[in-house]
Amino acid sequence: MQAAFWTTVGLLCLTAGFGSTQKPQPCSSPPLYTGSMTVGTQDEHLWAVGRYSYDVVNQRMHLGETGTLNNKTFTYDALMLYQEGILYEINHHNKTCVKKPLKADFYPMEVPKGAEFVNQVVIGTLSGPGEGLLVNSWWGDMPDKQSKYFLSFTEFGCFPVSAFFKSKSLGGMVSVSYYDNVLGVDPGVFVPPPFCKDAKLEANKDGKETNYFSFFN
């Protein structure tokens, strides 16, 4: 499994070489934007497509996705309010809401501190105007220090392009692709719907802390 992970990393780096006289520096994504994403695992355990809204100023995210998990279709809508320490799992169809503690630090969309620069590549081509995208790739250790991540961000704007990391519970490598990013957010997506008003704070059943990476574990 580990060999397959680094083989994939190597192929990504060799996809399109681009010489640069200046080494790219770590960067942070814009503070407010909306984008789409796909998530998949190496063993096809999980596949999902979703839309997310990101607000680094107030440390909050809204994620809505649909997909398959263990060959079962699911729909997931989550509102993560890190400053309040609250996670809302929202079901608009049934108009139900589960309110859980969100015991985690907010991880901004950025090249993490300590990440090692890998390469600068072109997705597409620079032979013609508007035909290619310049991205920078980085790798480093996951917070648990037991696995690696491999990230790509655009050279201009510092928008996330892709992420690869290993997850023990999902059986191997997890890949995330980001696209259709738009600057700005609709503040309304960070307001719980009216039917969440009376939701009582529930403890996590497994006793584990909920954090950014736990959505893939």
**Mean pLDDT (10-residue bins), the chain, 217 residues:** 40 39 88 96 85 96 93 93 95 92 90 93 89 94 80 96 79 88 96 92 62 41
pLDDT number for residue 205: 61
pLDDT number for residue 169: 59
pLDDT number for residue 168: 66
**Per-domain residue ranges of the chain:** 2-216
Is domain 2-216 annotated with CATH 3.40.50.300? no
pLDDT number for residue 198: 87
Q: pTM here?
A: 0.79
pLDDT number for residue 6: 36
Backbone φ, ψ for residue 119 (5° rounding): -165, 160
pLDDT number for residue 66: 93
